[in-house]
Structures are given as C-alpha cells and as structure tokens.
Amino acid sequence: MNPITQPEHKPHSSPERLGIRAHVHELISSRRSPRAFSDRALTTDAIISLFEAARWSPSSINEQPWNFIVATKDDAKSYALLAESLSERNQRWATQAPLLVAGIAQTTYLKSGAPYRHAWYDLGQSVAYLTVQATALGLSVHPMGGFDAERIRHGFSIPPHFDVVILLAVGYADKPDMLPEDLRQREEAPRMRKPLESFVFTDAWGQTSRHVSQEGLSLNTQSTN
C-alpha cells in the first residue's frame, strides 16, 4: 500500500470559531462540515485510512456495531441510490462530494440477541474517529440526517436489527462561492457552539459545574481561521 500523502491544497475558507476558552487539538479546532466540495476523487489509500480509523473506535464489550455502505462516483448505482435518498435540501450540495457513506448500527448483541442500547452511540464514536482521520488527511466530512432510511434499507437489502443512522458526504473542501447564495452565506458564517456553562453540570441539573464556570478563571483563548 502506498503511503498516504497530504492534500495539495487546504480548504479555501475556514470560518473563525467563537468562544474557545482553552487549548483544543488542531484536528478538532480546524474540523468543519462544508457544503462546498471539490470533485477531486479520493485515493484508495485515503478511503482505507478513514475506515481503519473507524475500526479502532471503542464499543460496548468490543461488539463493534458499526457498518458502512461506501460509494464513490465510480460506483454509479450505489452512489445514485444514496444520493437519491437525500432530502432535496441536501441534494443541492452533497451530490458534489466524491464519496457518500451510510452509517448503519447493529441494534442487538450478536451473542445474546439482547437490545444493543448503546449501538447508535458506538456508531457515533466510530464516525468521530473517521472524521478526525479525515481532517488529518486534509479531507472534510459533513454528516446529514436528512435522508430516507427506508429507501436505503430496501435498496441495499439491509437486514432487520440494523438501523440506517447517518449519511456522510466526504471530500476535499472547495471555495464557498461555488454554492448558491443562501448556502454560501451559511458556509462563511462563524462557527458557534453553546457555552460550556449551558450543558456541563455537577451538583444538579441545570446548575453550571464549577469546573467550567468562568467566574474567577483565566483560561487560554483560541480561534482558527
């Protein structure tokens, strides 16, 4: 297998992330979910690298409940099926991406047949590993919830006890000005998140944890462009 090389170019736009209060690894702070994708194809090595990263994610009793359907534009039938399952809103931009991926969770334990309550969580961790690896390779991943899961289930003959959870558009980010105006504005907007105080608690639900409270603390700030 040939060594994986870094991309020839980086995304043209990486909007500033607001309100980062402490150091975060660059692979996390620079990650973004673009809608503007280049039609540049991914190498086989890059695709394998993504799923090797996904493979090494942790899971409940090492059950590894993640499954993926992967289609490049060379896989015309499979790519079209995934693309056509998308909502019209997502089809506007996601069909430019050179790689579409469906993430599927096994919902019962193989040995016992008991419900696998953490299957979606474990699939999510696997996708997160894949996403960090993609960022390290200069790629971008945009997860999508707007799709017809039953259409994918039927089209790929997915058996019972497996849930079609997420679709991913994967590729090299391109210039936002390739997008329609409404999508371009969203692409170039600052990336924002809820403050830590709104979701990290200790003593009671809804009461900000002292560990993240800004009162009396002086934390480093960080932003990325």
pLDDT in tens, 139-184: 999 999 999 999 999 999 999 999 999 999 999 988 888 888 887 8
Residue 164 sits at φ, ψ, to 5 deg, of: -80, 110
Report domain extents, the chain.
27-178
- Listed residue (140, 169, 141, 158) closest to 72, CA to CA: 169
pTM: 0.86
120-124 long-range contacts (CB < 8 A, ≥24 apart) are 120/163, 120/165, 122/57, 122/58, 122/59, 122/60, 122/63, 122/64, 122/65, 122/66, 123/65, 123/66, 123/165, 123/166
pLDDT band at 127 (very low <50, low <70, confident <90, very high): very high
Mean pLDDT, range 1-23, rounded to an integer: 54
- Listed residue (5, 21, 24, 42) closest to 140, CA to CA: 42
Predicted local confidence at residue 18, as pLDDT: 63
Task: Answer whether residue 224 shows pLDDT above 70.
Answer: no
Mean pLDDT is lowest, of 34-38, 70-74, 103-107, 155-159, for 34-38
Fold of the CATH domain 27-178: NADH Oxidase (3.40.109)
Q: What tokens were used for 134? A: 């993609």
Predicted local confidence at residue 22, as pLDDT: 84
Task: Say how far apart CA 54 and CA 129 lie, in whole Å.
Answer: 5
